[in-house]
Amino acid sequence: MLDTSISSGNFDIPVLIIGGGPVGLAMAVELGWRGIDCMLVEQGDGVVGHPKTNGVNMRTMEYCRRWGIAEAVREQGYPLGRSRDHIYFTTLTGWEIARQVNPAYDEIQLPRGAVEPFQRCPQTAFDPLLQERARSFEPVTLRYHVRCEGVEQDPSGVTARLRNLQDGEEENLRAAFVVACEGARSPIRDALGIKLDGTPVLGYSTNVLFRSEEFATMHDKGDGRSYLAMGPEGQWASVNSINGKDLWRFQVRGSLDPDSWGKVDVDADLKRFAGRDFDYQILSILEWIRRQLVADRYQDGRIALAGDCIHQLTPAGSFGMNTGVGDITNLSWKIEAALSGWAGDGLIATYTTERRPIGKRNVDFAAARYARGENVIPAPFILDETPDGERERKEVGERITDEALAAPTFGLQIGYRYDDSPIICHEPGPPPPIERETYTPTTRPGARAPDAWLGKNRAVTDLFGRGFVLLALGAAPPKAENLEQAAAARGVPLKTVFVTEPDIADLYQQALVLVRPDGHVAWRGEAPPADAGQVIDLIRGAA
């Protein structure tokens, strides 16, 4: 159990965030939105040179909506009406093999229980939006060119050693909580003895960011978001549109051979991909390792970790940064509860219990999807201009279509539940099955509370976040003053919101649904609980 009483401590800052990648920045925004004083230190200058993350999934978009940046993400992202097709070929100017037709972002049919579609927004736009929003909150301080060189914790706080990389100055900073968002190479994780489980290398890959006006029009394949080249070795490279215009990301998938790393002949490979010469300007090159790793613990005392520190996965499905945003939105309200004095001793530790299974599931899903793509290995004569070559291209195309490598992942994005959590009021009977592609809304405790429009530009999830929300649904919901009283007696922020719309009452399945600050259901019932104090103690980690 963690002693979350901070009265004995003497702090420079309640929360210190280490690392200003997208996950650290999202934590700063979320804490700023909560009004919690925090400082983020980032060793770099905060400028994104090479965009890695691009796909902002439905759940992250819901949080972007909370933070007031969802519209900006859409505006600065991949154009809404543009084709998102995945087009497979031998070369861009050669034979087409398969085409996975995906609806444009403004045509995606969302499942019931969701209002925010997935959106692509390159990190070069996404991180600055987070930076700007973080800076707009008075309690947030962002410090660049500052490296954390170590942390030491004792029962009453954490001392971080910081170095200003511009003038070399050292300082010790005392915080109640440290959130390490340092990325894959995390000295804090290693110093805490937290181990990564899984497969350290799935492949050595190379990304090339390039600008080209000609790329979009020099072929007969039409508009698409992803262009993928198949050779005798299988799918060996792809080009993704970054901005729907002239910015592209070429990816050479690479192999398991570490000696192949860093040896890509970019010009030769771009020519092989296109099947001809074309004009381009290389902007940056990123060599990176695909991994399938998840940490055995997400937190140690007053130090919590989030993002790539604790899970590293192949980008298939866009779950890296998005899983990190899920982490910090789970952690932030628990830290707020501890700082405000209403957390039970067991609350912070539920961060690992709730988030690790989700991290592992996403890491394993991404690896499995990547492997399915790797499994499609053509016969050597796929490039031949012969009847055998033609037959092979057709068969490979059918296998690609069967593998459905870009199938929707609604269930993974918004259907995740904290089924084994000790801070939700469990119901008897087996939980609904875990869904990956589809999403079936449920308010079973542990699930994300489903979303729906309440009016123009106002959704149910907009009600959540500041504290617990007791939704009282339908024309005549039962009174649940005992829950409000039990919460008030323990200092737990809880307000009742009446929602009369019949379709939302139907979506929410029961008359009373208690939703946590992270938008997950803590308890539900047709009538107030007999022992409201017991419910409130359980959901604040004090049972």
Ligand X SMILES: Cc1cc2nc3c(=O)[nH]c(=O)nc-3n(C[C@H](O)[C@H](O)[C@H](O)COP(=O)(O)OP(=O)(O)OC[C@H]3O[C@@H](n4cnc5c(N)ncnc54)[C@H](O)[C@@H]3O)c2cc1C
Between residues 69 and 472, which has the closer beta carbon with respect to ligand X?
Answer: 69
Residue 410 sits at φ, ψ, to 5 deg, of -55, -45
> Shortest distance, CB of residue 60 to ligand X, whole angstroms?
8
Contact 416, 422 (CB under 8 A): no
Among 474, 459, 475, residue whose Cα is nearest residue 509: 474
Closer by beta carbon to ligand X, 96 or else 364:
364
Nearer to ligand X, 43 or 340 (CB): 43
Closest distance to ligand X from the beta carbon of 250 (Å): 11
Q: Which amino acid is at 24?
A: G
Residue 136, strand partner residues: none
Which residue's entry shows tokens 């499994």? 375
Is 315 an interacting residue with respect to ligand X (CB under 6 A)?
Answer: yes
| # residues near ligand X by CB under 6 A | 31
Answer yes or no whether residue 122 interacts with ligand X by CB under 6 A: no
Count of alpha carbons within 13 Å of 308, Cβ hemisphere only?
Answer: 23
Question: Which CB atom, from 1 or from 371, has the smaller least distance to ligand X?
Answer: 371
Nearer to ligand X, 183 or 231 (CB): 183
- Amino acid identity, residue 111? P
Axis-axis angle for helices 350-374, 320-340 (nearest 10) = 180
Contacting range for ligand X; rule: CB under 6 A; set: 48-56, 276-284, 458-466, 482-490: 48-56
Q: For residue 11, count other CB atoms closer than 10 A to its CB.
A: 18
Q: Residue 162 CB, nearest distance to ligand X (Å)?
A: 8
List the one residue from 43, 93, 156, 496 that touches ligand X (CB under 6 A).
43
User: What are the tokens at 400?
Assistant: 């690609």
Rounded to the nearest 5 percent, the helix, strand and coil shares of the chain are: 30, 25, 40
Nearest approach, Cβ of 487 to ligand X (angstroms)? Answer: 33
Angle 124-50-81 (CA atoms, 0-180°, nearest 5)? 50
Strand partners, 285: 208
Task: Look at strands 521-525 and 226-231 and give their pairing.
Answer: unpaired
Using the rule CB under 6 A, is 50 a contact of ligand X? no
Interface with ligand X includes 19 (CB under 6 A)? yes
18 scored as a contact of ligand X (CB under 6 A): yes
Q: Does 145 bind ligand X (CB under 6 A)?
A: no
Q: Which stretch binds ligand X (CB under 6 A): 39-47, 260-268, 269-277, 526-534?
A: 39-47
Q: How many CB atoms lie within 10 A of CB 273?
A: 24
Which residue lies nearer to ligand X by CB, 315 or 441? 315
In the bound state with ligand X, the residue whose beta carbon lies nearer, of 413 and 421, is 413
Among 6, 15, 17, 23, binds ligand X (CB under 6 A): 23
Kindly state whether residue 41 participates in binding ligand X, applying the rule CB under 6 A: yes
Q: How far is the CB of 479 from ligand X (least distance, A)?
A: 43
The minimum distance between CB 376 and ligand X, in angstroms, equals: 20
In the numeric block, the tokens 């040179």 are attached to 49
CA separation for the pair 324, 319 (Å, rounded) = 8
Helices (H), 136-209: 187-191
Q: CB 428 → ligand X: shortest distance, Å? A: 36
Cα distance between residue 160 and residue 168, in whole Å: 16
Residue 397 contacts ligand X per CB under 6 A:
no
Q: Does 529 bind ligand X (CB under 6 A)?
A: no
Contact flag: residue 161 with ligand X (CB under 6 A): no
- Site residues for ligand X, 176-235, by CB under 6 A, read 181-183, 207
399 binds ligand X (CB under 6 A): no
Task: Map tokens 């940490």 to a residue.
Answer: 295
Q: Does 295 bind ligand X (CB under 6 A)?
A: no
Asked if residue 308 binds ligand X (CB under 6 A), the reply is yes
Q: According to the 3-state scheme, what is the secondary structure of 11-29?
A: CCEEEEEECCCHHHHHHHH
Closest CA to 370 of 317, 414, 303: 317
Instruction: Please report whether residue 413 would count as binding ligand X according to CB under 6 A.
Output: no
Candidates 14, 15, 17, 21; binder of ligand X (CB under 6 A) is 21
Interacting residue with ligand X among 82, 99, 147, 221 (CB under 6 A): 147
Count the neighbouring beta carbons within 10 Å of the beta carbon of residue 156.
Answer: 16
| Identity of the residue, 139 or 359, whose beta carbon is nearer to ligand X in the bound complex | 359
Residue 361 in contact with ligand X, rule: CB under 6 A: no
Length of the chain, in residues: 543
Question: Residues interacting with ligand X, by CB under 6 A?
Answer: 18-24, 41-44, 52-55, 147-148, 181-183, 207, 288, 307-308, 315, 318-322, 324
